[in-house]
Amino acid sequence: MIKGKPTILKTLYTYFLGITTGELMPELAENKYSHSEQFGKNAKKIKELYIQYRGKIKLTENITLKEIYYEIIGQRKNSITVEEKNEEIEFTNIWTKVAGIKNNIHGEFLYQIIPRAVLTREKQIDRGIRGIDPQCKYCNRQFETFQHLFIDCKELKMFRTYVIQNGQSEDPNFEISKKLLLLVDIKTELIPIIYGYTHTVWACRHFEDTLNLYKLQMKYHKDKEIYRKYNKNKN
């Protein structure tokens, strides 16, 4: 469990070897491993989750740290809907726009992008799927959340810049942001670019071979043009 590059499970292991293990494992509390300095946000996240749900976790003699992790994740409340998070946005027009996409495959994918419903590794773990490596496959450092994958991942920064520059040829204010991926007040001619970008990032995370900027660009243009081909006179 603790071999290889740091994962959120290794972070949990390190956290339990830290000072806060005093409550559960006093014999390990003397270990002064500086986990919070080495693992940053992941360690903080695990600590906050543990403190929030520790009263609901049943500790048995043979329970493993991995099982404790899944107990913590299993206690998390269901997230609120995208409409509830963005009450100031009128979603009727957004859903109507997506419903007008001619090709069902493209429309269904964007239907998942808008409410952040694509099955990221974070969501797979939240749903109790075991054996999931939670790390982003692009950077191998951060937890793969929707926000990280499509907006924040540093390994995709050059690709995002390329797509932004491409989009700015249609709209000088084009930027990849949370609002953009909700398709808020978006020009119809920009939807192929958004589809091309999000589908490329999503699909290429499954590739086993080494990815570089050129391969991402080629995949992006292919997806964008396929979208345009099958959605003529619509989007």
Residue with tokens 């992006």: 220
Mean pLDDT, contiguous 10-residue spans, the chain (235 residues): 50 55 48 45 59 64 64 56 82 89 94 91 81 87 92 95 95 93 91 97 84 92 96 69
Give the H or E element holding residue 217: helix 213-230
* Per-residue pLDDT at 183: 93
Instruction: Count the helices and strands in the chain (H runs, E runs).
Output: 13, 0
Rounded to whole angstroms, how far apart are CA atoms 138 and 197?
Answer: 15
* Per-residue pLDDT at 124: 86
* Per-residue pLDDT at 106: 96
Give the H or E element holding residue 38: helix 35-39
**153 Cβ contact list (under 8 Å, min separation 6):** 136, 138, 139, 142
50, 72 in Cβ contact below 8 A?
yes
The CA distances from residue 177 to 56, 77, 153, 154, in Å, are: 37, 26, 13, 14
135 three-class SS: strand
* Per-residue pLDDT at 51: 65
Give the CB-side neighbour count of residue 44, counting CA atoms within 13 A: 5
Rounded to whole angstroms, how far apart are CA atoms 65 and 71?
Answer: 10
Q: Is 127 left (phi over 0), alpha (psi -120 to 50) or beta?
A: alpha
135, 141 in Cβ contact below 8 A?
yes
